[in-house]
Structure 1
Amino acid sequence: MDRSTGAALLQRSRTIGLGNTGTVTAGTQEHESVAVPAAPVLQAAELDRLRTAVSAALTEFLDRQRATLAAMDPSLAPVVDEVCALAEGGKRLRPAFAYWGWRGARDLAAAQDEPAVLRAVAALEFVHASALVHDDVMDGAQTRRGRPATHIGFAARHSGSDLDGDGKLFGVGAAILVGDLALVWSDELLRRSGISAAALTRARSVWDTMRTEVTAGQYLDLLRAAGGLPGPDGAMKVARYKSAGYTVQRPLHLGAAIAGAAPEVTEAYTAIGLPLGEAFQLRDDVLGVFGDPDVTGKSADDDLREGKQTLLISLAEESADASGRRLLDDLLGNAEAGAQEFDALRDLLESTGARARVEERITERTALARSAIAAAPLAEDARAALDALAVAATTRTA
């Protein structure tokens, strides 16, 4: 998110008022009616500061790793270059949620050195990079953030270098290893961040749970693509474990663990993180089909061509007539389909009301999360920041 985009999102967050949401339930937490005000202002300068600090931590770490790999063999340079390219992109939402999770709790427990905390939360970007690379391999995706997906890029490198063997297999193998390496480096950056030994011990429990959930979620996604976990409930289970949990809930828990937060703070973060992570992933699903490629960095046809079994698709299947279901059967996941045919699928998602129902759920889950933020026992600056991030994360265009 550049300065102008951040400012636009924050301006939008000031104008969205969700009103009173009534009694709401998130996880096992029930909250009484809370009037949710328009999202408070999180200054673009503060977002820039956080993004800059995370980027600096990643750059410093990757420079060391580049030297390590170069000493092993110069031909390893493309591997670290690819991790660098993956780490350069993105909105830094996961480190932001973790950082403000720490800020929200730090007045209730022993404080940590802020630069060390920033290095620790930056490690989340490597977890994210790993998940993206492996997901693209499993989905057969062609692009990521406006550039060739990792397996596509390494296949092209194989061809351009006149190497022996199957270039496609080379690309897939290299991508798997790049993703593995990013996951290994996430551990190393967390361990070397400089947070105290006690904070690191507390953080490891959350960290391990998060990485287990992400990996399990990737398998559930693979299973659903093969016909398992059918229907809307299956779609949401995949979304929760594959993406939603490690985007909001677990980063908030990580920040709380680093701070040594009281149990009620962690419980509040669960009430915030579960609905907000779901809303974030549903927005991602909508953008995957209806987003502007110039903004998202990927074709709006890719998710349809790959046959992603999102909630959008499940709801359309439920509501479509016989001809609509035949259209889904014929075109979803059809690599030979063209732009006009995918436009017909988009029209079906609109006409069945699937897109509108997903948008309603995004609004409802965002309101639920914002109610939990308003009721949470947090430092005021963190409450304001999390509220603004909640709106930005669910109204984004990329």
Structure 2
Amino acid sequence: MSHDEEVTRQMASRIAQHRDRFQDLFQRYFAQLHATADAPELSRFAPECLRMVEELALRGGKRQRVAFAYEAANLTPGGTTTEKAVDIAALSIELLQAHLLIHDDIIDNAATRRGGPSTYYAYRDKLPGHPQHALGLAVLAGDLALVLSQQVIADAGLEPWLAQTMMTLQNKASLSTFVGQVFDLERDFLGVPDEELLHSVCDYKAARSSALAPLQLGLLAAEQDPKEHEPALRRYATSFGISGQMRDDYLSLFGSEEVTGKPATADVADGRVTYLIRRTLLAASDSERKLLASVLGQAGATETDVDTVREIVTAHGADQSLLADMRRFAELASTEAEQWASWAEADAVAFFRDVPVWGVQRLL
């Protein structure tokens, strides 16, 4: 077994331990929420909306954000982490993520998420012949998850300063992601965007809520001020986020549906100019660009169309170029984490040093 394979195995095991512990916590949270929710007695849609959020949230994923929060809580020597504080942070993180996924699938008109129907399409199936009601209920389900991500902190009985700071951080993460989502849609009107623009989209849309905020919240749960390490945390989150987005762009074209949770035709039909498609468009011949234009963004894209895109991508080595840069950004994150040894606990430093390797190796 190679070094990278061993690191990947260890990281997968470590993250799975956090995921399994959190899954039990999340299930208990929703059970309590159902028991205490203030919903109209005569309403069917109101309690169902909560169940729709629960279904997507508990379907889960890797829970990498949760692992970041728990590991960040152990970064600083002499920290006074309370299990309750870091649990509340983790719940807020995953409720915010549920909100972001529900609304992202509406924006992208995505049928699947995490190996099952998206919340939007689940409502469409429940309400055939009522597309506007399905859309409205999906929007409201996403809004509910957003409110719950704040309410879980407000109701936890934490020290007032801690609760307020956690809510402020989550608000900032939410706002950054909203701005990133707007920017993500804007790039579709810019032709072939500069790669620095794609980095900026990734930073706002994903890295700040998926990596930076969990790091900050974990430190807060240990009653440490994340502002003391703000530049280092931001550098790490940005490099880790870009590496992860490049991996997702690669898998959207070359990954299996069992791995990605959505068909390979989804991103081709969407027509978004990803890192991978951008490089391919710049390298392609005029005839190849015309062929790509005839396929990308077509709602009825087929597996044959996907194969056509793959052939052009591989013919110009765009896939291998992207994989090399994905690893480069992962190494930047790892190198950044190594610098934390001067102020952080060795075991937690090792996690943040090695987890980018896991990010590169997993699923490939």
Shift of residue 309 of structure 1?
2.0
Matched, 1:385 2:355: no
Distance 2:275 2:135 in 1: 28
Q: 2:97 aligns with which of 119, 128, 144?
A: 128
Q: Tell me the residue number matched to 1:143.
A: 112
Matched, 1:101 2:41: no
Larger mean CA deviation between 50-59 and 191-200 belongs to: 191-200
Shift of residue 336 of structure 1?
2.3
Q: 2:305 aligns with which of 336, 341, 346?
A: 341
Matched, 1:199 2:162: yes
Matched, 1:185 2:148: yes
Matched, 1:90 2:64: no
Unaligned runs of 5+ in 1: 1-10, 18-37, 160-165
Matched, 1:242 2:208: no
Shift of residue 43 of structure 1?
7.8
- How many residues of Structure 1 are paired with residues of Structure 2 in the alignment? 358
Shift of residue 140 of structure 1?
1.2
Distance 1:345 1:43 in 2: 32
Q: Tell me the residue number matched to 1:66.
A: 34
Deviations, residues 73-119 of structure 1 (Å, cap 9, x unaligned): 343332122111211211111111122122102x255x131233122
Shift of residue 143 of structure 1?
1.0
Is the contact between residue 117 and residue 195 of structure 1 (CA under 8 Å) also seen in structure 2? Answer: no
Q: Tell me the residue number matched to 1:306.
A: 270
Matched, 1:261 2:225: yes
Shift of residue 173 of structure 1?
1.3
Return the letter of the residue paired with 2:22.
Answer: V
Q: 1:374 aligns with which of 338, 344, 360?
A: 338
Is the contact between residue 279 and residue 362 of structure 1 (CA under 8 Å) also seen in structure 2? Answer: yes
Distance 1:381 1:261 in 2: 20
Return the letter of the residue paired with 2:360.
Answer: T
Q: Tell me the residue number matched to 1:171.
A: 134
Call closer, same or farther: CA 1:130–1:95 in 2, change over 3 Å.
same
CA RMSD of aligned residues (A): 2.4
Unaligned runs of 5+ in 2: none
SS of the aligned residue for 1:103 comes to coil
Deviations, residues 306-350 of structure 1 (Å, cap 9, x unaligned): 112211111111111101111221111111232111210111122
Matched, 1:324 2:288: yes
Shift of residue 49 of structure 1?
3.6
Q: Tell me the residue number matched to 2:279.
A: 315
Distance 1:43 1:323 in 2: 43
Shift of residue 352 of structure 1?
2.1
Larger mean CA deviation between 130-139 and 54-63 belongs to: 54-63
Amino-acid identity (%)? 28
Q: 2:4 aligns with which of 9, 15, 21?
A: 15
Q: Tell me the residue number matched to 1:75.
A: 45
Deviations, residues 44-67 of structure 1 (Å, cap 9, x unaligned): 2x4344223322332222223323
Distance 1:270 1:253 in 2: 10
SS of the aligned residue for 2:212 comes to helix
Call closer, same or farther: CA 1:62–1:147 in 2, change over 3 Å.
same
Matched, 1:233 2:201: no
Call closer, same or farther: CA 1:207–1:388 in 2, change over 3 Å.
same
